Structure 1
Amino acid sequence: MTQKIIIDTDPGQDDAVAILLALASPELEVLGITAVAGNVPLPLTEVNARKIVELAGRHDVPVHAGCEVPIKRKLVTAEHVHGKTGLDGIELPAPSIPLQSLHAVDFIIETLRQHPEGSVTLVPIGPLTNIATAFERAPDIIPRVKRIVLMGGAYFEVGNITPAAEFNIYVDPEAAQAVFASGVPLVVLPLDATHEALTSRDWVDAMRALPNRCGPAVASWTDFFERFDREKYGSEGAPLHDPCTIAWLIRPELFEGREINVEIETQGEFTTGMTVADWWRVSDRPANALFIRHLDRDGLFALLGERIAQLP
């Protein structure tokens, strides 16, 4: 059966690839895309989301702008990774599709109320501000969510924005804390898994050679994105973090993980934003998340290449 999803995002080159994968996959029905401040401020993330949708030729998918700042903190952004626009690497034209007037939080609430209980999956691939705000404003929607499949956190790999914290969780740890405590079934794609999703030069060249507009765009984004990881980690490619969420929905057999308890640190002097993942189950806290540890890299990139080739 087709899975109905809402993608909550702060594009981001890897967010863009995730959105393209979702729009190219008949297993998924993208009900809408909600933008949040994260990698870059909201005025850029909502424009980037519309550019990506238009690049894919999907004018039917609505884009809604959401929260401009985290629940309790000043916004931290990541232009040092994604460039000043968030989508550096290729210059896309200004989008012609309109931004929807309905706030993203209201769109999430209304959509969950309008669809049968347990039929809509939320896919947050940025800070969790929109999701937590929707849950706080309309707690009746919480049991209506089928599951949340998110990119965020780390355990063995620890942090990428601080020594202890992954970026998406760090930007709004209070929002993450609320979502992880909500009781909604969670699937977490942390850095432990996504750092195995490294691009290769052969794959990027294959994307560039595709006779469509989306393949070369993905190659250009990846070229830009790779430079940060090569300089910081000495890796040969760049991890495509966010597409792992969409791939899990389509091909969960490509991933390995276990059900564990995950808590969010909000008070630590050095550990704010840390995902305290009880991988070895040493506490008596009940499991609240399927925490993914490994993925089949070759299978993931075969899926990405196959689907991106089908786009305009």
Structure 2
Amino acid sequence: MAPEKIIIDTDPGVDDILALLLALSASAEEIELLLISLTFGNIDVENCLRNTVSLFHILDKELEWRKQTGRPLGYGSLRQYKPIVAVGAERPLEDQVLMADYFHGLDGLGGIHTTAPHFTPTELWRHLFHSPSADSAPIPADSPTALPHENLFTASSSPAYLEILEQLKRHPPHTVTIIAVGPLTNLALAAAHDPETFLLAKEVVIMSGTVDLEGNVTPTAEFNAYADAVAAARVFALTSREPKSTIPPGASLKAYPDVLSRQLNLTAFPLDITTMHLLNEAEFEALTGPLREEGSPLAQWAHVFIHATFRKMESLYAVEGDAAKRVQDVDISLHDPLCVWYVLTRAVSGWKAVEGRDIRVDAVGQWTRGMFVVDRRTRRRPTEEEVADGQEVEGDCDGWLHPRLGNRVRQMVESPDRDAFGRAMIKQIFE
């Protein structure tokens, strides 16, 4: 059976790095990671690149350590395939930049490049940085000689959105899954540039938004959806039979054609499901502590930023006046890794979704930017035969009940075994 071909669009903070590690540690028969496309989000895009290069730098050291100590190498996907890394959007389509450095630290990994600089590769990684706002140009011939870890990936000089389209063209239609775990700006740019090629994706899996749970940056919005609500709304519009019915007004990017060959197959993992998939600190320490003491570069590196994340969770959620939380009571949610886990295991029974849900992203609201809006009314949706094309349903505005209008999103609501996920992820990544 052929491996799942995937693109990961990401803004590498802590859980993004865990998502990348989960994909790279899969077997060569499970996943072929074609492209890591970088976007602003948790941090600025240049720090995203530094974190990605650091990841490969550490993995290069980890594989050598495992070889020298006679351990199973693992990371079959990484050793078999060589993903492309492309730098993408530096800012949202229309709004001001919002970053989550308050949570992930200014560098996205809890300050690791300052507190533990020996894990960070030489500044020569900067020769890989190519601003997508500049004219596309190859990396200069006089760039520094490639470092050892650069043998594990290929640096692209094309903007990420063009590299996404290139990968979709290069492979048979509907064989490449895009996993997007940051703001959806790169995806929106790709879709605007060439919507029919973008629709060649097998599935677009996103960590974005919240439906019934409170938001994590506003009362109603999750960070990724809020950071570029216009981009999210444009991507969601491609799930509609008539995209113009939900596309944001006055957007700077060109409108989609009135008729497209198909609808986007979009699966959303909102906070409602991802928040419940946890990594416990005591369990993480039990699994990785011995490896760290034995000299695993990966365990030592990850301990720094994951430990910082547990401490941040304590400071954000501890109740004033309460005694400090016990270590074994601290958890972090595995938002982004869950999307990769789904692609790895979607054939396993136990994944449950609400199919074809009309979820719309508010891109212009004063207090509700990035909110996932759903119709909670109990009115029956008329059939197409009952509603003439172009007509509103009586007593309904904006086409919420119209059979052709609105988005059709698969909202994931349940996984096979949420309590076991954190442990299974850590064992695959570190063992």
The match for 2:34 is: 31
Instruction: Supply the RMSD in Å over aligned alpha carbons.
Output: 2.1
The equivalent position to 2:373 in structure 1, one of 266, 276, 280, is: 276
For residues 17 and 65 of structure 1, the distance between their equivalents in structure 2, rounded to whole angstroms, comes to 19
Deviation at residue 64 of structure 1 after TM alignment: 0.7
Q: Which runs of 4+ in 1 moved over 4 A?
A: 278-283
Q: How does 1:1-312 map to 2 (within 5 A)?
A: 1-26=2-27, 27-57=30-60, 58=78, 60-88=82-110, 90=112, 91=116, 92-94=119-121, 95=125, 96=147, 97=150, 99-183=155-239, 184-205=264-285, 206-210=287-291, 212-234=296-318, 236-252=330-346, 253=349, 255-259=351-355, 260-278=357-375, 283-284=400-401, 288-295=408-415, 296-310=417-431
Deviation at residue 280 of structure 1 after TM alignment: 7.9
Percent identical residues: 30
User: Tell me, which stretches of 5 or more residues in structure 1 are unaligned?
Assistant: none
Deviation at residue 281 of structure 1 after TM alignment: 7.2
CA contact (8 A) 1:154 1:192 kept: yes
For residues 193 and 218 of structure 1, the distance between their equivalents in structure 2, rounded to whole angstroms, comes to 25
Deviation at residue 278 of structure 1 after TM alignment: 4.7
Would the alpha carbon gap of residues 112 and 263 (structure 1) be closer, same or farther in structure 2, given more than 3 Å must change? same
For residues 230 and 21 of structure 2, the distance between their equivalents in structure 1, rounded to whole angstroms, comes to 29
Would the alpha carbon gap of residues 159 and 62 (structure 1) be closer, same or farther in structure 2, given more than 3 Å must change? same
Write out per-residue CA displacement over residues 191-232 of structure 1, whole angstroms, 9 at most, x where no aligned residue.
Answer: 111111222123210123335332333333221112233333
CA contact (8 A) 1:215 1:308 kept: no
Amino acid at match of 2:332: A
Would the alpha carbon gap of residues 218 and 199 (structure 1) be closer, same or farther in structure 2, given more than 3 Å must change? same
CA contact (8 A) 1:8 1:36 kept: yes
Amino acid at match of 2:414: H
CA contact (8 A) 1:56 1:214 kept: yes
For residues 172 and 80 of structure 1, the distance between their equivalents in structure 2, rounded to whole angstroms, comes to 18
> How many residue pairs align between the two structures?
310
User: Tell me, which stretches of 5 or more residues in structure 2 are unaligned?
Assistant: 61-77, 126-146, 240-263, 319-328, 380-399
TM-score, normalisation: structure 1: 0.92
For residues 281 and 81 of structure 1, the distance between their equivalents in structure 2, rounded to whole angstroms, comes to 39
Answer with 1 or 2: which has the greater Rg: 2
Would the alpha carbon gap of residues 238 and 72 (structure 1) be closer, same or farther in structure 2, given more than 3 Å must change? same
Deviation at residue 181 of structure 1 after TM alignment: 1.1
CA contact (8 A) 2:360 2:407 kept: no
For residues 224 and 330 of structure 2, the distance between their equivalents in structure 1, rounded to whole angstroms, comes to 24
TM-score, normalisation: structure 2: 0.68
Amino acid at match of 2:44: P
* Partner SS for 2:411: strand
